[in-house]
Amino acid sequence: MEGTTGRGGPAPAEESAPPSGADLAGARWGGARRGGARRGGGAGSGTASGLIAVTMWGLAPVATRALVLQLAPLPLLVLRVALAGLVLLPVAVPALRRLDRAHAPRLIAAGLLGMVGYNLPVTLGLQWLPASTAALILATEPIWILVLSRVFLAEPVPRWSWAGAAVAVAGVAVLAGPEAFAAGSSGRVLASAGLVLLGTALFGAYTIVLRPLADSYGAVPAAAASTVAGAVPYLLFAGTLTSAPLGGLHPAAWGELAFLAVGSTVAGLLLWSVAITRAGPTRAGLLLYLEPLVGVTGAAILLGEGLSAATLAGGLLIMLGVGTAWLSRR
């Protein structure tokens, strides 16, 4: 989630200061200049684009959970990330051609954080963690952006933001606690929740690392280039596809894979950029609060997952904490 210029060229001088946690939490993948949204139909189409993107992102853990039960995480990610990188390669070319040598390490770091640091632990965790629980843990992303912005950008953080962060972390503990220590769990639920939380934190780091590249090359080309860069390491594991049961995959599984690669990653990126540009980062950022709701609802409808009291209580604590932390930065 990051607010960026949304098009090529360096950001104006007045916007060159380090982004605040709220700015970073206001957008994911791509964004637009701070300032007002376009009025009229532009804002409406931006909101619609943002709703579609948030719906896709909310359903991503649901599709991943369904798919990882049929296909091991590594070949799944090889297919997903390679396909997304291939589709986004033409979009990434402008940034790659203009890439300053000094920016190359940052691009590689962003690619590794986003495509490996985020996707790998989350996909591993979803082998044993319900999609609804994962969706709620992923909703803590703004908290990690706030914390990392404080640590690495030395940004001041209001007390209410720290209080909100503490409440959100307590919500994660409530989500993981009951099942983590239940008989027969073997600690897998707790480890899976930890993996998803780790991936969420690393995606927060991705948004911070990518921001200067988005300011210099445009939000969409920068995000696309980081996706392409992050896809390269997966090529080393292409051999895992030979032992994967690809021939026995149900057609629905291929649809889930296409949704994750082309829908959630590619279309989500492009639609969110439209949302930030036309609706503005503040209005679009509020749509992100619908993402965990979409995930929980999708898991219940599509996967038949039940909602326990712990899930409801933990989810409410997470949303309360994230909302408190985010609003206190306004």
pLDDT at 98 over 90: yes
Which range of residues forms the domain containing residue 267?
18-327
Q: Rounded to an integer, what distance in angstroms lies between the CA atom of residue 257 and that of residue 271?
A: 19
Mean local confidence (pLDDT), 140-150: 83
Q: Per 3-state DSSP, what percentage of the chain is helix, strand, and coil (rounded to 5)?
A: 80, 0, 20
- Answer whether residue 7 is part of any domain: no
Which has the higher per-residue pLDDT, 110 or 185? 110
Given this model, what pLDDT does residue 329 score?
63
- Answer whether residue 205 is part of any domain: yes
**Model confidence at 301, in pLDDT bands (50, 70, 90)?**
very high
- Answer whether residue 10 is part of any domain: no
| First-to-last C-alpha distance (Å) of the chain | 16
- Answer whether residue 246 is part of any domain: yes
Which of 44-53, 97-106, 152-161 shows the lowest per-residue confidence on average (mean pLDDT)? Answer: 152-161
Which has the higher per-residue pLDDT, 43 or 230? 230
- Answer whether residue 94 is part of any domain: yes
* Whole-model pTM over 0.75: yes
Question: Is 133 within 8 Å of 193 (Cβ atoms)?
Answer: yes
Given this model, what pLDDT does residue 228 score?
96
Q: Rounded to an integer, what distance in angstroms lies between the CA atom of residue 316 and that of residue 13?
A: 40
Which has the higher per-residue pLDDT, 7 or 131? 131
pLDDT at 99 over 80: yes
Which of 53-57, 118-122, 316-320 shows the lowest per-residue confidence on average (mean pLDDT)? Answer: 316-320
Write the DSSP string, 186-252. Answer: TTHHHHHHHHHHHHHHHHHHHHHHHHHHHHHH-HHHHHHHHHHHHHGGGGGGTTHHHHS-GGG--HH
- Answer whether residue 2 is part of any domain: no
CA distances from 221 to 4, 57, 158, 269 (A): 12, 20, 34, 10
pLDDT at 97 over 70: yes
**Model confidence at 179, in pLDDT bands (50, 70, 90)?**
low
pLDDT at 34 over 50: no
Mean local confidence (pLDDT), 159-187: 72
Given this model, what pLDDT does residue 35 score?
44
- Answer whether residue 315 is part of any domain: yes
Write the DSSP string, 178-204. Answer: HHHTSTT-TTHHHHHHHHHHHHHHHHH
Write the DSSP string, 33-62. Answer: -SSPPPPTHHHHHHHHHHHHHHHHHHHHHH
Q: Give the total number of structural domains in the chain.
A: 1
pLDDT at 312 over 80: yes
Which of 95-104, 117-126, 142-151, 278-287 shows the lowest per-residue confidence on average (mean pLDDT)? Answer: 278-287
- Answer whether residue 1 is part of any domain: no
Amino acid, res. 143: I
Q: Rounded to an integer, what distance in angstroms lies between the CA atom of residue 233 and that of residue 224?
A: 16
CB neighbour list of residue 155: distance below 8 Å, 6 or more residues apart:
18, 20, 21, 149
Given this model, what pLDDT does residue 108 score?
96
Span 202-211, pLDDT tens digits? 998 998 899 8
